[in-house]
């Protein structure tokens, strides 16, 4: 790992064993992008990569020079309006109405490790030799705005983390209207754009398109990262596959409004920008004030989509997630929501928990309905104190009863919301986001608290701290069930209303930060009607997230497969729920529901008392299996083998760090008859080890399983006769492969 600066050519070269990132100071003082990709040797001069020729209709920076036009030069942090007509990385409105800026190189520093970003989640290092950080300082001399571009290259993997910081050293306030965390100009457009899109209950489905001249973008303007489009995008060469070929992944560590965009000009240059969505954004930067953008992460891989994903998994699992639970296998839980919804008593909860304990469950979670006057979704939000009609001794009393069973206890909150029918709203009706003299919209009969106001965050923190201090609580499910409308804060002046969306998210981060520091051993799980805020920003505070409100095993194949493009398996909340499923009303076998949920945090979303004796025995076996293999499942190396978006079968697998154990998940949606024999080529095994297939006792070398493949043929390959086990729709198997001692 190294960051080199060549003084004579003013060239920066960031490189490790995987990648090179090269840029230089251009003749006008701006930064030019020269190369990003597979590692190349360092040398003094890469200036030949700044290609300049006269072009018709171009505008030029220097009089008499018909070659230097910013429209046709690859740049690091471009500005619109001074010969570059493409979408910019930054736009700043000045007092005189101008938006032209001229950020020129001043200096740079190179340091070991990685600095924190105040108030924002970001990747981190635990020692200075894990990464190096380059900070390049540029200045606009007219406004005296100082721009610092931060680049961190990690020692291993094709990872570069980027952000930007603006400081007003001048005498007049300015307004930042656009401040991207990352801009990357690529020399061609021969890429397939891949995004993770969907909606409630079908989040993070993979969508592909070919890049063509024009603009393609994903974004959110909902106040959160959203169910619709995840803040993650991939550019892959058309020939790249899951296991080979060049791939670049882009991820934004942010939970609010964002935009990820690729603009292809008519000369085939591709400009990628990643950052806060500029629509509706207006940050007043007063004299001596600083604004820090969220962090964006780029990953380059020559090993295809799996190589890129594994790099993100390793980084986000161990250098974004933090705290006590970062490296610990997650407890198997039972959540009462789909078992009872709002209809429960304390004794009913203990009855459910008792059966769960009998089956081997380790954590019982009480979901919505325990607080205030909450008997449905129209009241109680904001009143974070127990409803003693349901819980006579409050949360401490219930927690004690659960702990007495030999289980841990967890609790649901929705801290950012309020119902009008609540004590909190009656005391502080001005604490919600609402625009003066305008209609106030609701979602799920609830309203959004103004988390841009410190006193609101302080109040919610006080109530949550009291509950967590008084009761034995080991887990918090943090929900958020509506998007933001009428985004206006009663306490900010008119020229700062464009800051509310971002200040709201900073308030959410502040509350998370205070609670996780005050209660470091509590496991936090993020949720937003399922996957509405499943993003890297929250992974910094909550090491796992409820991936989707859709718990149907077949729908989860696509959801969890898509999620794995960026996010580690240890953070994917996945449960076994009742059949017929409460979202799609599909009947799936109990073993398939578990076989999908194993590849995540694992738990149950049902009342186990309602299962048959035979099913209870199966549940007990599932829990024994998960306890034996959960460390591998949650922290092993994950490979995608067959996509649910491309056929009737889905196959994925996880391999232990020592390559001695592998678990292969095989899923078939619809049954087939007299079908061809099937096999799947595995990945990540040690070619020289002999693996026993515990399914049937056969033995195979690792190279055999990776090249010939694992046979997955079953009774569907022909006619079911004799004692052959018949297949069904929605069938699945887990193959356990263990290396034999030599």
Please write the tens of the pLDDT for every residue from 113-166: 999 999 999 999 999 999 999 999 999 999 999 999 999 999 999 999 999 999
Summarize pLDDT for 465-522 with one digit per residue, the tens. 999 999 999 999 999 999 999 999 999 999 999 999 999 999 999 999 999 999 999 9
> Beta strands 31-38 and 408-413: pairing type?
unpaired
| 594-644 tens-digit pLDDT | 999 999 999 999 999 999 999 999 999 999 999 999 999 999 999 999 999
Residue 242 has pLDDT above 70, yes or no: yes
Place of tokens 């791939």: 247
Q: What is the pLDDT of residues 243-290, one digit of tens each?
A: 999 999 999 999 999 999 999 999 999 999 999 999 999 999 999 999
* Residue 688 annotated in active site: no
Place of tokens 């590692």: 39
Give the CA count within 13 Å in the CB-facing half-sphere of 64: 0
- Write the pLDDT tens digit of every residue in 89-101: 999 999 999 999 9
Q: Is 140 a catalytic residue?
A: no
Among residues 383, 549, 552, 714, the one annotated as catalytic is 549
What are the tokens at 709? 């493949």
Q: Round the CA-based radius of gyration of the chain to a whole number and report it.
A: 27
682 in Cβ contact with 704 (< 8 Å): no
Contacts of 638 (CB under 8 A, 6+ apart): 309, 310, 313, 564, 568, 569, 599, 652, 653, 654
Six-digit token string for 230: 């995840």
Give the C-alpha separation, 566 to 232, whole Å.
7
Helix H or strand E encompassing 500: helix 500-518
What is the structure's pLDDT at 649? 97
Burial 23-52 (b: 16+ CB within 10 A, else e): bbbbebebbbbbbbbeeeeeeeebeebbee
What's the number of CA atoms in the CB half-sphere (13 Å) around residue 377?
Answer: 13
Residue among 479, 552, 607, 714 flagged as catalytic: 479
Dump strand ranges (E) for 451-500.
475-478
Instruction: Please give the pLDDT value at position 175.
Output: 98
This prediction has a pTM of 0.97
Spatial separation of the C-alpha atoms in residues 541 and 636, rounded to whole Å: 22
**What are the pLDDT digits (tens) for 207-230?**
999 999 999 999 999 999 999 999
Work out the number of other CB atoms within 10 angstroms of the CB of residue 518. 13
- pLDDT tens per residue, range 39-89: 999 999 999 999 999 999 999 898 888 999 999 999 999 999 999 999 999
352 contacts: CB under 8 Å, gap ≥ 6: 334, 336, 339, 340, 364, 607, 608, 609
Residue 742 has pLDDT above 70, yes or no: no
476 pairs with which residues across the strands? 411, 524
Is 605:301 a contact under the CB 8 Å cutoff? no
Q: Has residue 718 got a pLDDT over 90?
A: no
In this prediction, residue 726 carries a pLDDT of: 82
CA separation for the pair 343, 370 (Å, rounded): 10
Does residue 379 contact residue 419 with C-beta atoms inside 8 Å? yes
Asked if pLDDT for residue 719 goes beyond 90, the answer is no
Q: Which domains does the chain have, with CATH numbers?
A: 2-319 (2.70.98.60), 333-629 (3.20.20.70), 649-739 (2.60.40.1180)
């Amino acid at each position: 790992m190294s960051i080199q600066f060549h003084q004579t050519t003013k060239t920066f070269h960031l490189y490790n064993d995987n990648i090179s990132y090269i840029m230089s100071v251009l003749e006008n003082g701006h930064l030019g992008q020269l190369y990003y990709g597979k590692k190349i040797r360092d040398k003094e001069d890469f200036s030949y990569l700044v290609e300049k020729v006269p072009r018709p209709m171009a505008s030029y920076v220097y009089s008499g020079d018909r070659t230097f036009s910013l429209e046709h030069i690859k740049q690091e942090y471009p500005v619109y309006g001074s010969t570059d007509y493409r979408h910019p990385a930054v736009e700043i409105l000045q007092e005189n109405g101008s938006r032209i800026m001229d950020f020129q190189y001043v200096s740079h520093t190179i340091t070991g490790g990685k600095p924190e970003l105040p108030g924002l989640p970001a990747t981190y290092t635990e020692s200075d030799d894990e990464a190096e950080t380059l900070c390049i300082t540029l200045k606009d001399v007219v406004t005296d705005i100082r721009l610092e571009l931060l680049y961190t290259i990690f020692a291993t993997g094709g990872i570069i983390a980027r952000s930007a910081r603006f400081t007003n050293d001048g005498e007049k306030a300015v307004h930042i209207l656009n401040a991207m965390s990352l801009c990357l100009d690529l020399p061609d457009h021969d890429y397939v754009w891949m995004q993770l899109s969907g909606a409630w209950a079908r989040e993070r489905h993979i969508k592909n398109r070919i890049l063509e001249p024009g603009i393609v973008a994903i974004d959110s303007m909902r106040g959160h990262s959203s169910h619709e489009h995840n803040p993650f995008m991939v550019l892959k060469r058309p020939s790249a596959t899951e296991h080979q070929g060049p791939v670049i992944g882009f991820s934004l560590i942010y939970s609010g409004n964002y935009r990820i965009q690729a603009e292809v000009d008519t000369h085939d240059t591709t400009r990628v920008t990643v950052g806060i969505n500029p629509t509706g954004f207006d940050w007043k930067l007063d004299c001596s004030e600083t604004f820090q953008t969220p962090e964006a992460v780029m990953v380059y891989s020559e090993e295809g989509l799996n190589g890129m994903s594994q790099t993100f998994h390793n980084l986000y699992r161990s250098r974004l997630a933090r705290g006590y639970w970062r490296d610990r296998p997650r407890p198997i839980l039972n959540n009462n929501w789909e078992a009872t919804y709002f209809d429960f008593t304390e004794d009913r909860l203990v009855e459910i928990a008792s059966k769960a304990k009998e089956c081997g469950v380790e954590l019982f979670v009480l979901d919505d309905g325990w607080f205030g006057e909450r008997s449905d979704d129209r009241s109680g939000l904001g009143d974070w104190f127990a409803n003693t009609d349901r819980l006579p001794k409050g949360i401490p009393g219930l927690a004690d009863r659960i702990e007495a069973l030999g289980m841990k206890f967890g609790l649901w909150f929705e801290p950012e919301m309020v119902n009008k029918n609540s004590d909190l709203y009656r005391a502080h009706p001005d604490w919600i986001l609402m625009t003066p003299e305008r209609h106030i919209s609701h979602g799920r009969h609830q309203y959004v608290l103004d988390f841009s106001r410190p006193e609101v965050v302080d109040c919610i923190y006080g109530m949550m701290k009291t509950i967590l201090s008084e009761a034995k609580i080991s887990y918090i499910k943090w929900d958020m069930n509506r998007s933001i409308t009428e985004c206006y804060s009663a306490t900010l002046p008119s020229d700062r209303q464009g800051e509310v969306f971002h200040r709201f998210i900073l308030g959410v981060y502040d509350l998370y930060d205070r609670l996780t520091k005050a209660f470091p051993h509590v496991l936090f799980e993020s949720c937003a009607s399922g996957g509405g805020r499943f993003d890297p920003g929250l992974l910094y505070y909550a090491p796992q997230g409820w991936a989707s409100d859709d718990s149907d095993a077949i729908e989860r194949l696509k959801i969890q497969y898509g999620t794995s493009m960026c996010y580690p398996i240890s953070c994917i909340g996945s449960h076994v729920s009742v059949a017929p499923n409460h979202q799609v009303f599909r009947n799936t076998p109990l073993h398939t529901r578990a076989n999908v949920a194993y590849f995540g945090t694992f738990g149950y979303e049902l009342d186990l008392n309602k299962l048959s004796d035979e099913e209870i025995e199966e549940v007990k076996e599932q829990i024994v299996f998960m306890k034996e293999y959960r460390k591998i499942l949650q922290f092993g190396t994950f490979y995608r083998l067959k996509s649910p978006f491309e056929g009737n079968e889905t196959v994925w697998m996880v391999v232990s760090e020592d390559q001695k154990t592998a678990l292969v998940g095989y899923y078939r949606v619809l049954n087939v008859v007299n079908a061809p024999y099937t096999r799947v080529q595995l990945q990540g095994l040690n070619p020289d080890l002999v693996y026993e297939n515990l399914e049937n006792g056969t033995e195979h070398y690792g190279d055999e399983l990776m090249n010939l493949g694992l046979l997955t043929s079953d009774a569907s390959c022909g006619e079911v006769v004799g004692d052959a086990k018949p297949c069904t729709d929605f069938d699945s198997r887990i193959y356990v492969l263990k290396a034999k001692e030599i």
